[in-house]
């Protein structure tokens, strides 16, 4: 918070303002201000439910002599976070031309373990081995963040027991199943002093003593003693805490969320402008009436994102080439007539 006064100079005068208080490989804590609550909440909802990732969706069990039932193991496998880097170039299997699944719309993982010793054996996510052709070398690999490099425990085997199975990981969004959620949690908070009375805090005798102040309470003016209620006040500062489950870095979750939301809005523009024929944007391939995925025009304008996530994390800070990295507003829709500038402030 010690650097923000100077950067406001070149910020666009109106429109959303961002302050980041913490950013690491697990979480980004940031404040979004100067915008409407619906703007912030839509972004939150999209980050929770509509960012495509990859998760195990089909399991073919060849041998299972463990104590756990097949479907129990299949469910556990589905919940294992897999690396989603480069997911943009993977197709939804419902959109793929193949019969069932292929390397363009899925990643195969094999698990084969047998307990040959005389002590119980632990089978971890690291024992899941991706096989076959993949879009890149990391897509679909189980996320392993613990210091021993094991990953989540899948099951345990007694001496002589064996597990052999093949998994098919597919692209999906968390609206279909929570296993596709990129985030472990998204904290969302506003009005820490409850000045707007959006909350009715239950209390035993003294709400001040019973409700500890939020960590953001220090960021905003506490209410004065006897201050009258401001009927015109609206929430204006929103505190996000985006924590990743592993598939995508947390800052990528935010930028992908923005991208997905822009795609949803752009899809409406295309269809509405096209339908009226009022000389607006003519849909280029967006108008097929057939079933399609939420990701409009996956191949069309999104190429800037395909080379993996060059986030500022891990690499040099300069390698910040997301779709909107360019100063000239090269958004994902930079080529369309409406996305080029920021004339809509």
Partner 1 sequence: MAAANYKHDNTVERSFELFVLQEGEKKITEKVVSGMSNCSDFLLLKEDHTLGNLLSAYLRMAPHVMFAAYKIGHPNVPEVLIRVQTDGSITPREAFLTTLKQLVALYGQLGREFQKELALRKYADQSENAAADAAGPSGTSGQNGI
| Residue 198 in contact with partner 1, rule: CB under 8 A | no
Tokens 């506490």 — which residue?
A: 222
Measured distance CA(183)–CA(97) in Å, rounded: 30
Q: Which helix (H) or strand (E) holds 38?
A: helix 37-49
- Interacting positions 49-88 with partner 1 (CB under 8 A): 50
Name the minimum Å distance from CB 79 to partner 1.
Answer: 16
- Verify binding: residue 261, partner 1, rule CB under 8 A: yes
174 scored as a contact of partner 1 (CB under 8 A): no
DSSP for 257-287? HHHHHHHHHHHHHHHHHHHHTSSSPPPSS--
Minimum gap (Å) between residue 49 Cβ and partner 1: 8
Contact call for residue 147 and partner 1 (CB under 8 A): no
> DSSP letters along 40-94, please?
HHHHHHHHHH---EEEEEEEEEEEE-SSS-HHHHHHHHHTS-B--TTGGGSPPTT
Task: Verify binding: residue 5, partner 1, rule CB under 8 A.
Answer: no
List the one residue from 22, 116, 137, 282 that touches partner 1 (CB under 8 A).
22
Name the one range near partner 1 by CB under 8 A: 116-124, 134-142, 163-171, 337-345.
337-345
Rounded-to-integer distance, Cα 132 and Cα 140, Å: 11
Between 296 and 315, how does the x/- string for binding to partner 1 read (CB under 8 A)?
Answer: ----------------xx--
Residue 45 binds partner 1, judged by CB under 8 A: yes
Could you give phi then psi for residue 124, rounded to 5 degrees? -110, 170
- Residue 258 binds partner 1 (CB under 8 A): yes
- Should residue 178 be labelled a site residue for partner 1 when binding is judged by CB under 8 A? no
Asked whether position 338 contacts partner 1 by CB under 8 A, the answer is yes
266 binds partner 1 (CB under 8 A): yes
Q: Which is nearer to partner 1, 160 or 325 (CB)?
A: 325
In the 8-state DSSP scheme, what is residue 151?
-
- Cβ at position 244, least distance to partner 1 in Å: 13
Tokens read off for 187: 């904290």
**78-137 residues near partner 1, rule: CB under 8 A:** 94
> Would you count residue 24 as binding partner 1 (CB under 8 A)?
yes
Region near partner 1 per CB under 8 A, out of 4-12, 62-70, 133-141, 202-210: 4-12
State yes or no: residue 146 binds partner 1 (CB under 8 A): no
Residues 106 and 55 sit within 8 Å (Cβ to Cβ): no
CA distances from 197 to 48, 204, 231 (A): 26, 18, 10
Q: Return the closest-CA partner of residue 114 out of 185, 173, 162, 55.
A: 162
């Amino acid at each position: 918070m010690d650097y923000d006064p100077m950067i406001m100079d070149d910020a666009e005068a109106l429109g959303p303002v961002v302050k980041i208080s913490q950013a690491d490989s697990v979480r980004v804590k940031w404040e979004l201000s100067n915008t409407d609550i619906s703007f912030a909440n839509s972004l939150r909802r999209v980050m929770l439910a509509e960012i495509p990732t990859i998760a195990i969706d089909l399991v073919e069990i060849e041998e299972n002599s463990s104590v756990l039932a097949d479907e129990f193991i299949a469910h556990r496998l589905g919940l294992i976070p897999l690396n989603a880097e480069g997911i943009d170039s993977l197709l939804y299997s419902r959109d793929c031309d193949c019969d069932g699944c292929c390397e363009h719309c899925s990643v195969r993982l094999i698990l084969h373990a047998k307990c040959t010793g005389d002590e119980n054996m632990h089978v971890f996510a690291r024992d899941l081995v991706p096989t076959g052709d993949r879009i890149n070398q990391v897509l679909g690999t189980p996320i392993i963040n613990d210091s021993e490099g094991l990953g989540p425990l899948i099951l345990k085997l007694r001496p002589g027991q064996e597990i052999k199975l093949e998994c098919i990981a597919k692209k999906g969004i968390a609206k279909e199943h929570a296993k596709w959620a990129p985030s472990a949690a998204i904290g969302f908070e506003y009005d820490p002093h409850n000045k707007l009375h959006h909350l009715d805090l239950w209390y035993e005798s003294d709400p001040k003593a019973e409700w500890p102040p939020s960590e953001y309470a220090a960021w905003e003016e506490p209410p004065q003693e006897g201050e009258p209620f401001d009927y015109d006040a609206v929430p204006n500062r929103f505190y996000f805490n985006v924590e990743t489950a592993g598939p995508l870095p947390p800052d990528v979750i935010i930028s992908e969320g923005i991208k997905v939301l822009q795609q949803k809005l752009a899809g409406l523009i295309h269809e509405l402008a096209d339908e009226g024929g009022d000389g607006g944007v003519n849909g280029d391939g967006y108008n097929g009436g057939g079933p399609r995925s939420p990701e409009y025009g996956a191949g069309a304008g999104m190429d800037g994102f395909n080379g993996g996530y060059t986030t500022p994390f891990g690499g040099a800070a300069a390698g910040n080439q997301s779709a909107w990295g360019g100063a000239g507003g090269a958004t994902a829709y930079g080529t369309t007539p409406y996305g080029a500038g920021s004339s809509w402030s």
